[in-house]
Chains A and B, each alone.
Chain A
Amino acid sequence: MGAKYKRNGKVAWTLVDGEVIIIAPDNSMHQLNGTATFLWTKLESGRTPEELAELLTSEFEVTREEAGADARAFLDRMVAMNLIAVEA
């Protein structure tokens, strides 16, 4: 099993018109597109990249490979911006 990821509990976020808007712990502001919003809303509890990829393939018409790459890219970017944390 890979590491589990979850939302950083210190962010504030809201879902407006189908897209997530986030205020980060450093008070910078971010908007997620549809796919990223879909993944964000699935991170209530910790998820592995493989679980997220699985969710993507069940929701969107993408191959497992594409979904895996997208999920990892999403997590890498979000972790780098301190919006998502690796679950201890």
Chain B
Amino acid sequence: MVLESFNPGRWRRAWLCSVKISSPGDSAVRFQVLTANSYRFLLNREFVPSQPSLGSLVIDIGGLSVRLQLDSALTEPVVSHFREFLSEGNGLEALVDPDPGLTVDDTYYEQTLRAVTVTLGTKRAIFRNVVNEWALETCLRATYAVRLPRFAGLLLHSSAVVNGGRAFVFMGRSGAGKSTAAGLSRPRRILGDEITALRLFDDGARAYGTPFGGDLPKDGRNGSAPLAGMYWLVQSDENRVERLETKDALKAILPNIMCVATEPEVRTQVLQVAERFAREVPVYRLYFRKEPQFWEALQ
């Protein structure tokens, strides 16, 4: 056996995970859109743009800012949807549904996801067919998945919990227990139970909550903490951890990265950043029972 494929197609599955839609401010009103088709139906509902009057607002995720230029009719739902991630200052300029003729000079990524199209350049992005805040969320998720690696970061399919001021990131196959582990960690602070942003800095790594996905109520989702370690979850009848060598650490991290790379440069960048995490951050296999006591193995 010369060639071993691990979790093939995992990235695609990560993108196709169900879209959870909640009515802002009312977590009780929540339903799932289970298929891309029904999502498309939602996007295709009639959208009447207001007269060209652009609103501008800045969203910050993982320490990276995106300045959105969008139709003022969208501003209010977007502000409500991303309110914990609103920021100020400059960043990537993202034009939401501008004139059809407008393009990005140095496009390095273009992808149609569900019904929206995301075009990224280094200074400017264009999001098309954005009819509501959830369509914008899809655009932002793609943008951060591709943009974070340019800044030594990753968007990771994982949950994250803060203990003793440091973030413990839980990753694993679908159903491995990412959300379960986060839920069992209360009253510790949960940064996220679905998608976490990670960044490497000169003085260490940091984990950030994101507005993307997730079922559990968050404790202020736009939080961050220094990264204690990354844990590949394995349900077991005992609680123990096992430190992974660089190669196995990389194999644990890669399938959880939320990035559909269309260009070889993006793919290479993702791999380089993932390898840095595998080398610079402690990565473990965590055998755990579904009980709060699994934290004893992490102390």
Total interface residues in chain B, CB < 8 Å: 29
Decide yes or no whether B175 CB sits under 8 A from chain A: no
Q: Pick the most buried of B7, B245, B264: most chain A CB atoms within 10 A of its CB.
A: B264
Asked whether, in the complex, the Cβ of A31 is within 8 Å of the Cβ of B251, the reply is: yes
Give which listed residue, B2, B10, B12, B246, contacts A35 with CB less than 8 A: B2
A11-B264 contact in complex given A16-B250, A23-B254, A29-B7, C-beta closer than 8 Å:
yes
Decide yes or no whether A43 CB sits under 8 A from chain B: no
Residue of A with least CB distance to B263 = A10
Main secondary structure of the interface of A (DSSP, over half): mixed
Give which listed residue, B1, B8, B268, B270, contacts A28 with CB less than 8 A: B8
Give which listed residue, B254, B272, B275, B278, contacts A29 with CB less than 8 A: B254
Residues of the B chain whose Cβ atoms lie less than 8 Å from the Cβ of A10: 264, 267
| 8 A Cβ contacts from B65-124 to A | none
The 8 closest A-B pairs by CB, nearest first: A36-B2, A28-B8, A12-B267, A17-B247, A12-B268, A12-B271, A16-B247, A10-B264
Which A residues lie at the B interface, using CB under 8 A?
A: 9-14, 16-17, 19, 21, 23, 25, 27-33, 35-36, 73-74, 77-78, 81
Q: List 20 A-B contacts (CB under 8 A).
A: A11-B264, A11-B267, A12-B264, A12-B271, A14-B271, A17-B245, A17-B247, A19-B247, A23-B254, A25-B264, A27-B260, A28-B8, A29-B6, A29-B10, A30-B4, A31-B5, A31-B6, A32-B3, A33-B1, A36-B2
